[in-house]
Chains A and B, each alone.
Chain A
Amino acid sequence: MNYSFHSILSCKHEKGEINIKYFLFLSAVLSLIFAAVNGSAEGLSNSVLSASQDAVQLTLTLLGTMAFWGGVMRIAEKSGLVRKISALFRPFLKVLFKGINESGEAFSAIVMNITANLMGLGNAATPLGIKAMKALAEEEHSNGTATGNMIMLVVINTASLQLLPTTVATLRLTHGSSAPLDVLPAILFSAACALTVGVTLTLTINGISKRKGRG
């Protein structure tokens, strides 16, 4: 999981709140009905009483890891390591973002956004991504319609890019895993497959709609 906190905080967002409201409503009503039918009201009552404690426990479990990686990655940012690594990705990203102005503000924000995501810098990645989107909207005159490159940026950001899934590793460790990171190859493989499908599909549809637009 890209333990970007923007994703964990999703329920705070205005648009997300609509979904979450229905979710809260449905879970309270459905649980009550099911508990009455299944005769599991006592268990339900206990879980209401204990769940908030579990949430505190979970926060405490993750607190140390989150703080530690926040500290490590701040050093990586300040020392210029993140910027240095981002230079490696430029040539690849040039291929994905067709017709983009390579020296423009949008492209450099895109490169930094994707590098920050790869390094698990969720806090830094989101503002960079938003900056990139605004710059793209201006450079490509979007006028309220997503351009091909904007779609590419969003699709890449909806994929999990984080190379080191520290939250998953921490939870696995605290729940008794003998080698919490032994799932890393599987995670990276699965994430790479998902990203490849998303990016290829975006490139294909972008290409088709561009040709149609010209014809």
Chain B
Amino acid sequence: MKITSFVIPMVVAVVFVYGIYKKVDIFEEFLSGAAENIKVAFDILPALIILMTCIGMLNTSGVVAFFTNIISPAAKVLGFPPQCLPLTLLRPLSGSGALAVYENIITEYHPDSFIGRVASVIMGSTETTFYTVAVYYGAAKVKNIRHTLLCAIAADITGFVVSCAAVRLFM
């Protein structure tokens, strides 16, 4: 039994207990929160369909393998599994695209394999950088974003490189 197995049940218990303590109607609130996310899941679907189709085409036609082969010598030097490279390329650009690539990786390689774990850590420790930048600055009507992208991308690259080291370190 791993200690991480307690994390989820603990969170749920704490939230429910605190909700009852604060006299929140936890059933009703749960329903409205759950309903909102069900709507979101279906809102995502059209985008997911087109992106998964494109990624599937790139995979089966050999385009992904071609580009992965080009970059893989550099990745190998860093000890980075080349199979995870497509994920690092798409991760900062598109959330649903990255989700599709991630699912492909853990379908092809087992989620508990080294490749599957590195992909999981990349998914869990990085974000859709370009989208966030566009939304936030769009809202604040900012045109000159100065060193934002430099700092955000430095963080992303750190996340990719460390993901691989972290799997070796913690597993």
**Residues of chain A having any CB pair with chain B under 8 Å:** 1-2, 4-16, 19-20, 23-24, 27-28, 30-32, 34-35, 38, 40, 43-44, 46-48, 50-52, 54-56, 58-59, 62-63, 66-81, 123, 126, 129-130, 133-134, 136-137, 142, 144-146, 150-151, 153-155, 157-160, 162, 164-165, 167-169, 171-172, 175-191, 193-195, 197-198, 201-202, 205, 209
Judge whether B143 and A160 touch: CB under 8 Å. no
Q: Is the interface of B mostly helix, strand, loop or mixed?
A: helix
Interfacial residues of chain B within 124-168, with CB under 8 A of chain A in the complex? 124-148, 150-152, 154-156, 158-159, 162-163, 166-167
New A-B contacts (13) at CB < 8 Å, excluding given A10-B96, A79-B19, A137-B141: A1-B124, A6-B135, A16-B93, A20-B51, A59-B44, A71-B37, A123-B40, A137-B140, A171-B103, A175-B116, A183-B167, A184-B4, A205-B147
- Ranked nearest first, the 7 interchain pairs of A and B with the lowest CB-CB distance are A74-B33, A198-B155, A70-B37, A194-B159, A7-B95, A71-B30, A187-B124
Interfacial residues of chain B within 20-55, with CB under 8 A of chain A in the complex? 21-22, 24, 26, 29-38, 40-45, 47-55
B interface, size bucket: 35 or more
Query: What would be 12 A-B contacts, judged by CB atoms less than 8 Å apart?
Result: A1-B123, A5-B40, A70-B36, A70-B38, A71-B34, A75-B15, A80-B22, A81-B19, A133-B140, A168-B102, A180-B111, A201-B150
